[in-house]
Amino acid sequence: SPAKDCCFAQLLNPDGLQVDYFVSHWWGHPFERTVQALDNFAKSVYKKIGKKSPDDVVFWICLFALNQHQAAQEVGSSPEEGPFNAALAKARHGAVMVLDGRAEPLQRIWCLYEVLRARHFKQAFRLIVDEGDIAKASASTLDAISESLQKLEAFNANASRASDKEAILFRILD
């Protein structure tokens, strides 16, 4: 059993923090590149959102915000009950989705659901790449993303659990 039965974010900030941005991403994207994308994005927005430095921008990432020792209980019995939903609803400046040329998050059912929920909550939703905001992406990255988006179909989106895919597809179709 773990020494502390909580998530990593609780270990670092036991009193919690106000979330600036909800992060939607794919676990197969190299972690160091995800951090690079978030760092570059934070450098471009921190002044606009009233922060003293890029290090003060708070991102909600499920890996760190959920208790991985009790992942099944943390996620809840339906997508709307999950902490993803609450974090997305309360993020002060919206959500960001970390992409590379393959645009893999847009081929994942949970990420598509996060796009839908962001719209439901009237949250800003921004695409970011290694360089930061998608506007800073190279032409080759933009071309690759464009090609990936042309093949996008929610019905063919991937999920780790078939039951998640069915539940989310039902909500998207509804």
Mean of pLDDT over the chain = 83
For the chain, how far is it from start to end, CA to CA, in angstroms?
41
Give phi and psi for 106, each to the nearest 5: -75, 0
Residue 46 pLDDT grade (very low, low, confident, very high; cuts 50, 70, 90): very high
pLDDT in tens, 48-80: 999 999 999 999 887 766 645 455 554 555 666
pLDDT in tens, 129-141: 999 999 999 999 9
Q: Could you tell me the two tokens for 66?
A: 């959920």
Q: Report the alpha-carbon distance of residue 114 to residue 92 in Å, rounded.
A: 16
pTM of the model: 0.81
Give phi and psi for 147, each to the nearest 5: -60, -40
Are 95 and 21 within 8 A, CB to CB?
yes
Give phi and psi for 61, each to the nearest 5: -125, 125
